[in-house]
Amino acid sequence: MDSITQATLGAVIGETMLGKKIGNKGAVIGAIIATIPDLDVVLLPLYSALERISIHRGFSHSILFSFIGAFLIAFVLSKIKWTKLISNSKLWLFSWLALFTHILLDAFTTYGTQMLLPFSNYRVSLDNINIVDPIYTIPLLVGLILSLSIYRNKTTRIKPTVIGLVISTLYLVFTFGIKHNVNNTFRSKLKEQGISYNNLLTVPVGIGSVNWYGVAKTDSSLFIGKYNNLKQDNIVFTEFPINDYLLNTIDDELASTLKWFSNGFYTVVESDGKIRLYNMQCDMQGIRTYGNYKAPTAFYFEITPLSDGNYNLSTGMHKKEQ
């Protein structure tokens, strides 16, 4: 999820576990630790455009990294004046929770998280909450602020933080129920409209898991529809040919990496001698319309052939629907 949410959750863990002993410093340390996995973006300039696809949410977001990182962080904390009187086991557990909850929270979103590296590069993506959702973040933040201010010198200082954490967690669990209902709705509408499909992807967009896109994949096309939990209008599906054959003309490694990154939910088009791949797995913002041309989502990878036989990989973004 977004950096503010991740830092807030880390601060909540720090306040809950260490707040009574070291005060507000526990929240500060927790927030810092919880942002460590996302420092992988600092390394991106060192890699090629193709390699960057797999670097973010890569090893720094793996379960193994959380265990190793927790040992290193706990060792450093044991040498600091604020925390050296706290047991090593508690410092490790605190550090591990701050790292692991970051990884777990990212796995709930649509981008995909390589939690199993280095044993598997499978991208875990539960697709039940948007990458930015204030309904999850605000209870955490409000509870934390109350603990660090009004309740700071009270014996019950962690109570607001715990209450905020419980509310946010209940909402997170509730989104799984919403997704289950959304999946059933899309399956029913696809059946009513006589659309046979192999796989179905449903992803939330915006705040509160109210608006969802469904992507039904057939052998040759993607059928994309939008659904609102509150309005519950009829779902209109738009068909986009996958055009997989267009990837046969480019480098095998590049093609296989782009397919892996999209988990099979992609479409390909050719424009002015360039190949564009739209990835529905990590970026589903809705259909973009330009006259007679429709794009399945805003973000795309663009592959430009070079005179020496190589390819240049770049990214682009369509503006909002016109």
pLDDT digits (tens, 9 = 90+) for 41-66: 888 788 887 788 888 888 999 999 99
Most confident of 90-104, 228-242, 259-273, 306-320: 90-104
- Whether residue 68 contacts residue 20, with contact meaning beta carbons closer than 8 Å, is answered with no
Higher confidence at residue 317 or residue 165?
A: 165
What confidence category does residue 322 fall into, taking pLDDT thresholds of 50, 70 and 90? very low
Tokens read off for 108: 């709930």
Q: Percentage of the chain surpassing pLDDT 90?
A: 69
- Whether residue 267 contacts residue 202, with contact meaning beta carbons closer than 8 Å, is answered with no
Is it the case that residue 239 has pLDDT exceeding 50? yes
Is it the case that residue 233 has pLDDT exceeding 90? no
Is it the case that residue 315 has pLDDT exceeding 90? no
CA distances from 26 to 12, 34, 302 (A): 9, 12, 45
Q: How many angstroms separate the CA atoms of 194 and 138, rounded?
A: 42
- Whether residue 224 contacts residue 204, with contact meaning beta carbons closer than 8 Å, is answered with no
**How much is the average pLDDT of 69-76?**
97
Per-residue pLDDT at 111: 83
The single-letter DSSP state of residue 272 is T
Is it the case that residue 309 has pLDDT exceeding 50? yes
Is it the case that residue 112 has pLDDT exceeding 90? no
Give the Cβ contact number of residue 60 at 10 Å: 22
Per-residue pLDDT at 321: 55
Average pLDDT over the chain, rounded to whole? 92
Helices (H), 154-197: 159-192
Q: What is the pLDDT of residues 116-155, one digit of tens each?
A: 999 999 999 999 999 999 999 999 999 999 999 998 888 8
